[in-house]
């Protein structure tokens, strides 16, 4: 069975997060929860949601057979004194890792960070969570144009 490009993109991003992004986080002078893809998060780990949101083409991309995927990485961080720092740290580490490896290990033609959004709890001190949403634009040459 053929492995769809969408699954390859998601797998490459997960490997980047648990590999290079965790290495970058480990190089910093402050401790941050590491990224894992397990059933639950705790004070030492965070489990981001990685999802492929859409695939679209501009007219130029259609002519040259490029598919442009929009992928979101959503970090939810429990409210602590360091939550805001963690949100900015995850975004910075992901940006650095994408700059170092814009082809996602050869899966894509180019991946870029197209947006970052930070959300604080609506009521501080009530146990709500902080959130960072990073949006990636991943372009891939379409081997099987429609």
- Domains along the sequence of the chain with CATH: 5-141 (3.30.70)
3-state secondary structure of 43: coil
Q: Give pTM, 2 decimals.
A: 0.89
Residue whose C-alpha is closest to residue 119's, from 110, 107, 130? 130
Predicted confidence at residue 1, as pLDDT, reads: 38
Please count the other Cβ atoms lying within 10 Å of the Cβ belonging to residue 27. Answer: 9
Predicted confidence at residue 135, as pLDDT, reads: 98
Number of residues in the chain: 146
Residue whose C-alpha is closest to residue 46's, from 130, 113, 140? 130
> What element of type H or E holds 75?
strand 66-78
Residue with tokens 């870029």: 112
61-89 per-residue burial string, b: 16 or more CB within 10 A, e: under 16 = eeeeebbbbbbbbebbbbbeeebeebbeb
Instruction: Render each residue's pLDDT in the chain as its tens digit; 146 residues.
Output: 357 889 999 999 999 999 999 999 999 988 999 999 987 767 788 999 999 998 877 666 666 678 889 999 999 998 888 999 999 999 999 999 999 999 999 999 999 999 999 999 888 777 679 999 999 999 998 765 55
């Amino acid at each position: 069975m053929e492995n769809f490009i969408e699954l390859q993109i998601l797998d490459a991003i997960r490997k980047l997060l648990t590999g290079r992004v965790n290495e970058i986080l480990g190089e910093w002078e402050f401790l941050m929860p590491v990224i894992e893809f397990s059933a639950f998060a705790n004070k030492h780990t965070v489990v981001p949601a990685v999802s492929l949101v859409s695939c679209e083409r501009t007219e130029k991309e259609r002519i040259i057979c490029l598919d442009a995927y929009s992928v979101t990485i959503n970090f939810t961080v429990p409210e602590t004194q360091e939550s805001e720092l963690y949100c900015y740290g995850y975004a910075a580490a992901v940006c650095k890792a994408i700059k170092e490896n814009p082809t996602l290990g050869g899966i894509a033609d180019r991946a870029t960070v197209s947006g970052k959004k930070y959300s604080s709890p609506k009521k501080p001190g009530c146990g709500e969570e902080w959130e960072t949403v990073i949006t990636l634009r991943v372009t891939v040459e379409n081997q099987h144009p429609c």
